[in-house]
């Protein structure tokens, strides 16, 4: 078992947690993919948010063997925090992807977030936060996959990495290590699709576009 707590707070066992100031979050689960968050300025954390997308308080999730039991304790959670999450943040502490969340409005001093078995790898974050949220409606979520591109969880990777584009000649959908030569990044970051059947230039926010760029430039794994 891996146990992490706030740097200035105590480490608790299975007993009820008794915070001196603010609430305490206790996350438990069997996580996979924690060791893959080591590039690009992104962090896998537990975090508290108010009504903005920027974390008020965070605690890093420790790297662990895939499937190992992990416990993360974060104390000192202030009254402004309304949501506690297992999530990915960028250098600015802005939320990129949320894996699990719980409200602080429970009346208890200790807020528990049991997540069970969960894949929290970079690709899982990309799938959940970008493809599932914004792309599968046209790319495999129904009976149709535009341009023959499937972005559903069971087919997205095999449809992207090192696969020739069916729309742009002599181009690759995702070229590992080179976002600028990858059609996927060009589609969401430029106006190249304005003459296509669907304009993708405003499909994603800047945070999601940068996440795609980072994933590709760091090997598209």
Q: State the Cα–Cα distance between residues 172 and 114, nearest whole angstrom.
A: 40
Nearest to 197 by CA among 141, 139, 151: 139
Q: pLDDT tens digits, residue range 136-190? A: 788 777 777 788 888 888 899 999 999 999 888 889 999 999 999 999 999 889 8
Closest to 77 measured CA to CA, from 51, 110, 44: 110
**Does residue 192 have a pLDDT over 90?**
no
pLDDT for 98-143, tens place per residue? 999 999 987 789 999 999 999 999 999 999 999 988 887 887 777 7
Compute the C-alpha angle 19/25/28, nearest 5°: 130
Give the residue from 11, 31, 29 showing the smallest Cα distance to 73: 11
Instruction: Kindly state whether residues 115 and 175 are assigned to the same domain.
Output: no
- Are 81 and 182 members of one domain? no
* Residue (of 82, 80, 74) closest to 17 by Cα position: 74
| CA angle (118 as vertex; 114, 124 as ends), nearest 5 | 135
Tell me how many domains the chain contains. Answer: 2
The whole domain housing 41 covers 2-119
Give the domain-ending residue among 77, 96, 119.
119
Question: Model's pTM, two decimal places?
Answer: 0.83
Listed residue (7, 32, 27, 10) closest to 19, CA to CA: 10
pLDDT confidence band for 11 (50 / 70 / 90) = very low
State the Cα–Cα distance between residues 102 and 25, nearest whole angstrom: 10
Question: Is the same domain home to 106 and 148?
Answer: no
CATH number of the structural domain spanning residue 67: 2.60.40
> What's the 3-state SS for 55-99?
EEEEEECCCCCCCEEEEEEEEEECCCCCEEEEEEECCCCEEEEEE
Please say which residue of 65, 94, 119 terminates a domain: 119
């Amino acid at each position: 078992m891996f146990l992490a707590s706030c740097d200035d707070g105590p480490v608790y066992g299975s007993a009820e947690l008794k915070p001196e100031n603010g609430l305490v979050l206790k996350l438990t689960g069997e996580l996979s993919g924690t060791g893959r968050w080591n590039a690009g300025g992104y962090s896998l954390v537990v975090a508290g948010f108010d009504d903005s997308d920027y974390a008020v308080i965070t605690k890093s999730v420790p790297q662990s063997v895939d499937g190992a039991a992990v416990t993360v304790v974060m104390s000192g959670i202030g009254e402004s925090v309304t949501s506690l999450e297992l999530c990915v943040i960028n250098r600015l502490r802005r939320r990129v992807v949320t894996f699990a969340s719980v409200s602080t409005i429970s009346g208890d001093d200790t807020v528990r977030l049991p997540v069970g078995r969960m894949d929290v790898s970079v690709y899982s974050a990309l799938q959940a936060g970008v493809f599932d949220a914004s792309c599968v409606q046209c790319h495999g979520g129904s009976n149709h996959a535009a341009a023959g591109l499937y972005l559903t969880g069971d087919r997205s990777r095999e449809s992207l990495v090192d696969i020739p584009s069916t729309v742009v000649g002599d181009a690759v959908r995702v070229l590992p290590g080179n976002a600028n030569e990858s059609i996927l990044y060009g589609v969401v970051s430029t106006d190249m699709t304005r003459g296509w059947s669907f304009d993708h230039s405003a499909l994603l926010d800047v945070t999601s576009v940068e996440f795609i760029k980072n994933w590709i430039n760091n090997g598209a794994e």
